[in-house]
Amino acid sequence: MEPFVTIITPTHNLLKNNLADDFNLLVKLLDMQTYPNIEHLIIDNMSTDGTVEMLKSYKNQGFINFYSEKDTGKFNAYNKGVMRAKGKYVTFLSCDDFIQDITAISDIVNILEANNGDFSFAPAYCRHPQGFVFLFMPAMHTAFQVMPCARQAMFFKKSMIEKENYFDERFKLISDFDFIMRIILKGYKPVFFDTNYVTYKLGEKVQNNGQKAEEESKAIFNKNFRNLYPLNDDILTRMAKFSEFPRPLLEKLAKYFPDEDAELFFDKCEQLHQIRINAIQNQQK
C-alpha cells in the first residue's frame, strides 16, 4: 500500500480575512491530485466568523478533516497537526497556498521512497503582496544563515519530526528555519525534487516584524551553534543582520556538506553576506 501523506493547514477566521476563495482553491486542487492516499488536516484556531461551519461543509463532502481549538500560533498548530497526522510524510500549506501540479505528491513520494529520504525540497513560486510572482530556488548551502528554501515546497517524514521534538514553539516567526537547521545538523537525508509544483504567498508577519525576526535569528544561531564556536551578542547580531559568520564557525559548518562542496559552501556564504550588506546600504540611501 502506498504511504499516506498528510497536508497540514492552520486556519483562523477565513471569512473575516477574505481567504475563503483561496482556501477553496487549495482544497479543490488537492482533490485533483493523482496520488490516492492524501489526508488534508485543518487545525483551526477557534474561528468565530462562520469558518467552522464552512469547514464542516468541506468535511461532510470528504475533502478535509479538522479540529477547532485554541492555539498559540502557527507552529503550535503545526505540532498539533503532526501529532494527529496519519501520514508517513507531512507537508505544511497555508490557506492561501496551492499545489498546481496534480502529479506532484505522487512524484515526491516516489522520489522519497526510492532514495529513503527524510525530507524533500524543491523550487517554488512566491506571490508577493505587491502582486508579482517570483521563483524561489533552493539554496541549501546557505541553510545555516537564512531560510534555504520555501517551507511550503518541503515534505518531511513524520517520524523525523517526532524524533526531533517538533517545531520549537518559542520561535513564533521563523521556527521552520530552526527546524531545517536542526535536521541538517543531525545528518538527515535530503532529496531534491526539481519541479516548481507549489505556489505560496509571501508571509508579511516576518516582513512587518523585522526586529523580532532578527532577535529570533540570534536565538536560533545561539541555540544551534554555541557548542561549535564561542558566541556573544555582537557576533550574533552580525550573523543575524549581515549573514556575517566567523570563519572558524563556517569551517565547522562546512563539514555538514560533502567535502567536494566545501568551496561552494564558502562562496555561497560570502555571496549572501555581500547581498545583505548591499541591501542594507541601499536602504540607507
Is the same domain home to 206 and 264? no
| β-pairing verdict for 119-121 and 133-136 | unpaired
Is the same domain home to 128 and 49? yes
Is the same domain home to 196 and 230? no
Question: Which tens digits make up the pLDDT trace of 230-246?
Answer: 999 999 999 999 999 99
- Judge whether 269 and 245 are in contact, CB under 8 Å: yes
Residue 285's pLDDT is 63
| β-pairing verdict for 65-68 and 38-44 | parallel
Judged against a pLDDT cut of 80, whether residue 213 lies above it is answered with: yes
Report how many domains make up the chain: 2
Q: Which three cell numbers stand for residue 70?
A: 485554541
Assigned domain for 220 exists? no
Residue 152's pLDDT is 97
In this prediction, residues 191-212 reach a mean pLDDT of 89
Residue that terminates a domain, selected from 190, 212, 234 = 212
In this prediction, residues 50-77 reach a mean pLDDT of 96
Judged against a pLDDT cut of 90, whether residue 114 lies above it is answered with: yes
| CA separation for the pair 44, 93 (Å, rounded) | 13
Assigned domain for 218 exists? no
pTM greater than 0.75 (yes/no): yes
Domain limits at 180?
A: 5-212
In this prediction, residues 48-66 reach a mean pLDDT of 96
- Judge whether 32 and 24 are in contact, CB under 8 Å: no
Residue 255's pLDDT is 95
Is the same domain home to 269 and 130? no
Residue 38, phi then psi, degrees to nearest 5? -120, 135
Is the same domain home to 200 and 240? no
Q: Which of 26, 19, 10 is nearest to 74 (CA)?
A: 10
Which one has a higher pLDDT value, 90 or 280?
A: 90
Please give the full DSSP string across the chain, using - where no structure is assigned.
-PPPEEEEEEES-TTTTT-HHHHHHHHHHHHT-S-S-EEEEEEE----SSHHHHHHHHHHTTS-EEEE---SSHHHHHHHHHHH---SEEEE--TT-EE--TTHHHHHHHHHHHHT-SEEE--EEEE-TTS-EEEE---GGGTTTS--S-GGGEEEEHHHHHHTTS--TT-SS-HHHHHHHHHHHTTPPEEE-----EEEEPPHHHHHTHHHHHHHHHHHHHHHHTTTS---HHHHHHHHHH----HHHHHHHHTTS-GGGHHHHHHHHHHHHHHHHHHHHHHH-
Is the same domain home to 186 and 241? no
Assigned domain for 245 exists? yes
| CA separation for the pair 174, 273 (Å, rounded) | 20
